[in-house]
Amino acid sequence: MSTAAPESCHHRLVKTRIIATMGPACKDAETIRQLILEGVDIFRLNFAHGTHEWLDDVLHQIRAISDELKIPVGVLGDLSGPKIRLGRIRGDELMCSEQSTIRFVHSRESDEPHDLTCTYEKLIDDVGLGDRILLADGTVGLVVTGKAEDGQSITCVVAEPGIIRSKQGVNLPGVALSTPCVTQKDEEDLAWALERQVDFIGLSFVRSADDITQLKSMIDRRNPKTLPIVVAKIEKTEAIADLDRILEVTDAVMVARGDLGVEAEISRVPILQKEIIRRCNQERIPVITATQMLDSMTTSDLPTRAEVSDVANAVIDGTDAVMLSGETAIGRHPITCVRMMQKIVHQSEPFVIGRGVEDPHTDESRRANPITEAVSLGATVVANSLDADLIVVATDSGRTALALSGQRGRVPILAVTHRQDIVRRLCLYWGVTSIQSTLVRQSADALLQFVVQWGLDHRVLKSGQKIVVVGHTNWLGDGHDLMMVHVVP
């Protein structure tokens, strides 16, 4: 396997990962290429938008360009979930005046100006007197004041006035919905994603750990060639209440601040974000911070100062990844936006605090064996102490790389694996740059020679620099974990 890099590609040793959402603004091959070169580690496919035919074309381009550049890139398939939306409104918009009366009716359409319909047929059954219904991203608030005896409508009073439009989102904070978390559309999108070996599957509007368990059972029943990482999107108050159990069963977490800021009191969102990141770090679960991170750059060349501070604080708090949504999907400047995100991340990372010894009660499925864990901790300490330039780890499942990532050390990590699915999965791990090579299964010396040559070819290493290697004396049988320090000749 050649290690030579294209002339235009100087490989990046990454720490905080960047996720970009695909859309009309970045669907062409040249834009995808530039986004990867500017720092995108994972592309998000939002199944709420775009046909499978369109997604097929996008996915093919992402993987072809990733292979051409020899830069691994992951793909996140984001299931829509039971998103509730308004139906058609007469005239397409309605001014909801304070204390005016609005009705929700069961029928799919209504010509009455103050009658609303929605995509969720059981809304009228699920809500009760006094429940709140939030519309237009929470800017308009209704309170349920009555139910018709025939069960065909509910009456609401406008508590927070404003304008609503056709197809806008509906949120029911605190209401226990009877709809399943995985819809029929989600099942079809999941089948498409598994067939194409998409690396990560995001589950929207998670309410409890049972939703994650249900999705994983669906995946297992389809017996895919490779198992994707399941990402629980935390955007409902029920998920906050069941966070402990969700963290026991999910593979990764997304702090989806958009709907979370509607479902929960918006002033609580920063504290909830910090707590979720802290808990994920503690449990060694990769965590993504998402929504409106550089929102003003959808139309502007520069972010606001508040957005820059928001991204920086998420990085300093310990998020593994930051995600761009509309900024890259429909924005005017997707490449500029990623470039700006990379600059903010780079400036913030020196303030990330290392962790040292982790909680011994971390789930065993997320830990390597005790000896490897100890060697990984020692490698981080030694690398920091010697001011080394690179930690190299050979990994089969990615657990050792995750152990090193969890330390949040100062020294970048290079993970070498023979498995293509693991290479792309590692695109979510903080501080880990991944490459693929079959030499990893031969010997520690072969691994070292490969890495040094790779580093010289990609201009990330030069003579006199120090490498700390975490490996094994015998990849194909019984052997011993080892750590060694090497100076590049």
Three-state secondary structure string covering the chain: CCCCCCCCCCCCCCCCEEEEECCHHHCCHHHHHHHHHHCCCEEEEECCCCCHHHHHHHHHHHHHHHHHHCCCCEEEEECCCCCEEECCCHHHEEEECCCCEEEEECCCCCCCCCEECECCCCHHHHCCCCCEEEECCCCEEEEEEEECCCCCEEEEEEEECEEEECCCEEECCCCCCCCCCCCHHHHHHHHHHHHCCCCEEEECCCCCHHHHHHHHHHHHHHCCCCCCEEEEEECCHHHHHCHHHHHHHCCEEEEEHHHHHHHCCHHHHHHHHHHHHHHHHHHCCCEEEECCCCHHHHCCCCCCHHHHHHHHHHHHHCCCEEEECHHHHCCCCHHHHHHHHHHHHHHHHHHCCCCCCCCCCCCHHHCCCHHHHHHHHHHHHHHHHHCCCEEEEECCCCHHHHHHHHCCCCCCEEEEECCHHHHHHHHHCCCEEEEECHHHHCCHHHHHHHHHHHHHHCCCCCCCCEEEEEEECCCCCCCCEEEEEEECC
Query: Is 97 exposed, middle or buried (CB count within 10 Å of its CB: 0-12, 13-18, 19+)?
Result: exposed
The domain covering 84-171 belongs, at the CATH homologous superfamily level, to PK beta-barrel domain-like (2.40.33.10)
What's residue 174's pLDDT? 86
What's residue 2's pLDDT? 40
What's residue 82's pLDDT? 87
The correct CATH number of 364-487 out of 1.10.565.10, 3.30.70.270, 3.40.1380.20, 3.40.50.720 is 3.40.1380.20
CB of 156 within 8 A of CB of 101? yes
Cβ atoms within 10 Å, residue 108:
11
What's residue 392's pLDDT? 94
Nearest alpha carbon to residue 78 among 197, 201, 191 = 201
Residue with token string 């580093």: 455
What's residue 7's pLDDT? 38
Q: What are the C-alpha distances in Å from 331 to residues 45, 96, 215, 324, 326?
A: 16, 30, 32, 10, 6
Pair type for strands 42-46 and 74-78 = parallel
Ordered by start, the domain boundaries in the chain are: 17-81+181-349, 84-171, 364-487
Q: Mean pLDDT in each 10-residue stretch from start to end of the chain (489 residues)?
A: 41 89 96 97 94 97 96 96 89 93 84 87 93 92 95 95 92 88 95 98 96 97 96 95 97 95 92 97 96 96 97 98 97 97 96 71 67 86 94 89 92 94 96 88 79 91 93 58 88
Architecture of domain 17-81+181-349: Alpha-Beta Barrel (3.20)
The residues annotated with a catalytic role in the active site are 44, 85, 233, 291
Query: Is 262 exposed, middle or buried (CB count within 10 Å of its CB: 0-12, 13-18, 19+)?
Result: buried
Report d(CA 483, CA 394) in Å as an integer: 11
CB of 367 within 8 A of CB of 399? yes
Query: Is 92 exposed, middle or buried (CB count within 10 Å of its CB: 0-12, 13-18, 19+)?
Result: exposed
pTM for this prediction: 0.91
